[in-house]
């Protein structure tokens, strides 16, 4: 339950830092559901580390002023590509 409260606060803080509107309740519900499913799958398949938002990332958005999710998509794909490339 504590993680839910933290996540809701993080969603609102991220919206404020990125100068967007506060997330509607249906978006918050989807976010909490996604974190719950991720935690369930993590516990089922692997190290049992729970999924949650990280408040530190909101600080990074504030410092860099980069809040586009496409930036993270490109960075993630680049990391996957580098992970499959051998030395």
Q: For 45-85, what is each residue's pLDDT tens digit?
A: 877 677 777 888 888 888 988 888 899 899 999 999 999 98
Q: What integer pLDDT is reported at residue 55 of this predicted model?
A: 85
Return the pLDDT at 48: 67
User: What average pLDDT does this structure show over 17-38?
Assistant: 91
pLDDT digits (tens, 9 = 90+) for 10-27: 999 999 998 889 999 999
Q: What was the pLDDT predicted at 74?
A: 95
The more confident residue out of 35 and 48 is 35
Residue 49 φ/ψ, nearest 5 degrees: -95, 125
In contact, 18 and 67? CB cutoff 8 Å: yes
Question: What are the extents of the domains in the chain?
Answer: 2-84
pLDDT at res. 45:
83
Q: How far apart are CA 86 and CA 13, in angstroms?
A: 40
């Amino acid at each position: 339950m504590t993680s839910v409260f933290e996540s809701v606060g993080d969603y609102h803080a991220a919206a404020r830092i990125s100068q967007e509107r506060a997330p509607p309740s249906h978006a918050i519900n989807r976010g909490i559901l996604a974190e719950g499913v991720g935690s369930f799958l993590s516990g089922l398949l692997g190290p049992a580390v729970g999924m949650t938002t990280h408040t530190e990332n909101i600080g990074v958005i504030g410092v860099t002023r980069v809040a586009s999710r496409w930036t993270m998509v490109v960075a993630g794909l680049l990391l996957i590509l580098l992970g499959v490339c051998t030395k």
